[in-house]
Amino acid sequence: MPDNQPRTRTPGSAAPPSRRRALRHRAATALTAAAPALAGYAAVRAIGLLVLQGWASLAEKDALHRLSGRWDSVWYQGIAENGYGRSVPLPDGSVHSDLAFFPLLPALERGVADVTPLAVPGAGLLVAWLAGLLAAWGIFAVGARLHGPRTGVVLACLWGACPTAFVQSMAYTETLFTALAAWTLYAVLTGRWIAAGVLCVPAGLTRPSAAALVAALAVTAAATLVKEYRTGDREGVLRRHRRMLLGVVIAPLGFLAYVVFVAVRQGSPFAYFEVQAEWGNSIDGGRALASFVLGLPAPAALGLCAALGLLGWLVSLCVRQRQPLPVLVYTLAIVAVSLIGSGYFGSRPRLMMPAFPLLLPASAALLRLRTTARTAAVVAALALASGAYGAWTLLGSGPP
């Protein structure tokens, strides 16, 4: 429901039966419209899981453990089981603290484990897989809003078949964050500013990438106000946009709440940033990335430069496609933060995975194929390639 529609229900009262029926009908209609996207996304991810299981069987390894019990998943599970408080000293004198990990995913893991027969690792997978479906639904909603339902379906499927899509099947935060991000952007695109701000709060408790969502809301709101001031329509402009401004104020509260929590727990106002720095996560303007590229052998460096060039080309296509301002700002912010951080290079493609609007130009290109069968064949081929890359990565030694 648009934010400017009058409310007839008094606080604390139940919605009238007619309103509940209307809401159920709208939800059923929306789910029916999204069903092809959800089915396509589920099929793409199933291909990836089947490839992983087949490869793991040949290598005599446990595929499920690779999805639920390695790398960052272990840290989240530790928080879910024991709360915060784990620190690991390293030989170089630095300390890795679990305070670097945001609380929403482990809280959901703990909650699911408490009400189901699943242990925490299985609960983490269930949360991630359900969040993946919610993310696919939100991605479909954004794509359909911008370019029609067919684009929304292809966009959701392409997101499930991107090279790092194997992370979507792991007990990681990427699917949960992308679900919240997609629905936040949809709320902004449909004028539901307070809903957008509220959705930003759990996003800010999931990943620091929520800063990209906050920026998308703030920049869009600022552009709206500037446009009205320039057109001379200044009378009561703040009052007319009070819901928009309230949404912008609400948006950063989740992230700020966690920063304050860490500050109070550690007794330092900058404790959160100090914890991240211990992990090697800070903004260095791209120096770490440049150093990594320069340290590679020439063929590998050229390949990586080509990949970065492809990324730049995709960004330029998004700009030329005239994507709406909140979508574009969100995408650019996700990409920028992923490139200018000092963290482990191998995690950068994963960090960019929530930037699903990068795939909008490719979705439009696929829809120019003559038949649906050809489009489906291309998506299936991409799913197989993504599954093979995911199996190779998960069954290897390096973290994603």
Q: What's the confidence (pLDDT) of residue 5?
A: 44
Residue 136, token pair as written in the block: 């696919």
Tell me: pLDDT of 3 over 60: no
What sections of the chain are H helices per DSSP?
A: 17-59, 63-68, 72-82, 104-115, 120-147, 149-160, 174-189, 193-204, 210-230, 237-240, 242-250, 253-266, 271-278, 287-294, 298-320, 325-340, 348-352, 360-367, 372-394
Q: How confident is the model over 161-185, as pLDDT tens digits?
A: 999 999 999 999 999 999 999 999 9
Question: Is the distance from CB of 171 to CB of 128 less than 8 angstroms?
Answer: yes
pTM over cut 0.95: no
Provide CB contacts within 8 A for 247, sequence distance 6+: 193, 194, 195, 196, 197, 198, 217, 221
Q: How confident is the model over 280-295, as pLDDT tens digits?
A: 888 878 888 888 888 8
Tell me: pLDDT of 366 over 50: yes
Tell me: pLDDT of 399 over 50: yes
Angle at 32 between CA 30 and CA 35, to 5 degrees: 110
Tell me: pLDDT of 296 over 60: yes
Bridge partner list, 96: 88
Provide CB contacts within 8 A for 24, sequence distance 6+: none
Q: What's the confidence (pLDDT) of residue 14?
A: 54
Q: What's the confidence (pLDDT) of residue 284?
A: 78
Question: Is the distance from CB of 156 to CB of 41 less than 8 angstroms?
Answer: yes
d(CA 349, CA 332): 14
Residue 296, token pair as written in the block: 């590679």
Lowest mean pLDDT: which of 68-72, 104-108, 175-179, 195-199? 68-72
Q: What's the confidence (pLDDT) of residue 348?
A: 84
Q: Rounded mean pLDDT of 312-316?
A: 93
Handedness of CA 380, 384, 386, 387 (dihedral sign): positive
Tell me, what amino acid is at 305?
C
Tell me: pLDDT of 199 over 50: yes
d(CA 252, CA 263): 16
